[in-house]
Amino acid sequence: MNSVSEGADLPEYQAVTVTPKNNRQELVIFGVTAVLIIVADQITKYWAQQYLLPRMASGEGPVELLGGFLKFTYAENSGAAFSMGTGITWVFTLIALGVVGVIFKYARKLGSTPWALALGGLLGGSVGNLIDRMFRAPGPFQGFVVDFIQLPYWAIFNVADMAVVTSGISIAVLLFKGFGIDGSRAKS
């Protein structure tokens, strides 16, 4: 027996189709940001190898700017931040590959320009250093990263490192302020 009596007035339900927001603009921003950072990173690393490496080898030392506050000093980093983990470069390469995969997974959900910039920066920085680890000596998964920017009391870094740190801070701020990757805003 049917639990609903015949002829009872039942509400009508309509099928609702939810279409995802067109995120083409955010994907373009994401991609362009990543590519610009990768290009800037690789060009500046090339410059460092062509100009700073011979300068350091000849004993001239770093290029000093702003009264020595900013120095351009050539360094080859086979470890992670602050040269930690030297000798296990392959681990950092695998981690970077995983990070790139996660970034692409989340990029599909982009619906926010600030998130597109932050994820694009994170991707660009990750790929910039990943290129070094994959294609520089001594070989794939073991290559060193070229670092050349030095501030007082800080490790030597590069453009990719700046992008990763800036993007990490941006992502933390977006999360703290309740901005969703899809463009939604958490209610206070």
How far apart CA 78 and CA 69 sit, in angstroms, is 25
pLDDT for 158: 97
pTM listed for this prediction: 0.82
Residue type, 11: P
Provide the domain limits for residue 127. Answer: 24-176
How far apart CA 76 and CA 112 sit, in angstroms, is 36
pLDDT for 8: 55
How far apart CA 63 and CA 115 sit, in angstroms, is 36
Regions in the chain scoring below 70 on pLDDT: 1-21, 79-88, 188
Among residues 9, 41, 161, 182, the one annotated as catalytic is 161
Q: Is residue 170 part of a domain?
A: yes
How far apart CA 183 and CA 29 sit, in angstroms, is 14
- Return the closest-CA partner of residue 144 out of 126, 127, 130: 130
pLDDT for 180: 94
Q: Is residue 52 part of a domain?
A: yes
pLDDT for 105: 94
Dihedral angle computed from the Cα positions of residues 164, 166, 171 and 176, in that order, rounded to the nearest 10 degrees: 140
Among residues 9, 132, 147, 182, the one annotated as catalytic is 147
Residue-wise pLDDT tens digits, 159-180: 999 999 999 999 999 999 999 9
How far apart CA 10 and CA 3 sit, in angstroms, is 13
Q: Is residue 10 part of a domain?
A: no
Q: Which two tokens stand for residue 34?
A: 């990543």
Q: Which two tokens stand for residue 102?
A: 């996660």
182 is catalytic: no
Q: Is residue 41 part of a domain?
A: yes
pLDDT for 18: 36
161 is catalytic: yes
pLDDT for 1: 47
pLDDT for 140: 84
Domains identified in the chain, total number: 1
Q: Is residue 57 part of a domain?
A: yes
